[in-house]
Amino acid sequence: MDYKIYILKVFLFLIYLFFGILNNLYAKDLISGYHFSEPSTQMIQDDEFLNPGFIWVEHGKALWEKKENVSDLSCNSCHGKVSNMKGVAIKFPKVNKSENFINLEQQINICREKEMKARKFEPESKNLLALSVLLYYQSKGLKQNIEINEDNKKWFDIGEELYFKKIGQMGLSCNQCHDDRVGNNLRAEKVSQGHINGFPSYLLRWSKIASVHRRIQFCNEQARAIPFKIFSKEYNALQLYLTWRGKGLEIETPAVRK
């Protein structure tokens, strides 16, 4: 065998071995999407003066104090200071007292309709996301620690099934990217583990805050699949599974992602 060809084969084998080890490390450890971002993106997230997500946080603070005309009630009227809400957001999605499976944004709208006698906010509207970001921000630094029990096990199973289900014209599943190809390049980005501990996040590609449902919807669209609607039980189920999958990761909201 030609000496140069032999050296080339050994070199290629070592590269293959290196990426195999790297993927195994990624598979064993929980790694936030923050660590797959470019340094410039990390810098924006780390600095509250640079992070555009804090515009939504500040808007959420104003909404928290705003009294609705009909009821003369604000969020503060029932819950007090927003700092009292530490740890609340990370309990969602959950089955509520009415046995409905909901996420935090849906709970905000339930409060508005039933308690404040106000109109619901539209999905992905600035007001709804501002309150959602504000509430998740109160839990920043806390670890995801959602429990699977008899109330939510049904939805957890549906979420897990959706995570591994191949969809769309491209026949892709979540795990094919976020388990099998972690650390590999996808165009100009590195494939992350797909954790949602930073959501709602400010997405540079859209220049605005997006919910985790909208981000999943975008992934579905990229796979040339028909997406579910935001607030669908399917996306809530997938959100539950993803939250459990990232158990132990700290809340980063408002994170900054591409």
| 3-state DSSP assignment of residue 114 | helix
Spatial distance between the Cα atoms of 114 and 13, rounded to a whole number of angstroms: 63
* 3-class DSSP assignment, residue 90: helix
194, 242 Cβ separation under 8 angstroms: yes
Asked whether the bond before 200 is cis by omega within 30 degrees of 0, the reply is yes
Each as own residue / partner, the long-range contacts of residues 179-184 (CB below 8 Å, 24 or more positions apart, any chain) are 179/27, 180/23, 182/23, 182/26, 182/27, 182/31, 183/19, 183/22, 183/23, 183/26, 183/36
Residue 219 annotated to the active site: yes
Catalytic residue among 75, 78, 177, 219: 219
For residue 147, the tally of other CB atoms under 10 A from its CB is 10
Euclidean distance between CA atoms 111 and 117, whole angstroms = 8
Provide the β-strand partners of residue 102.
94
Taking the CA atoms of residue 195, residue 42, residue 213 and residue 159 in that order, the dihedral angle to the nearest 10 degrees is 0
As annotated, the active-site residues are 219
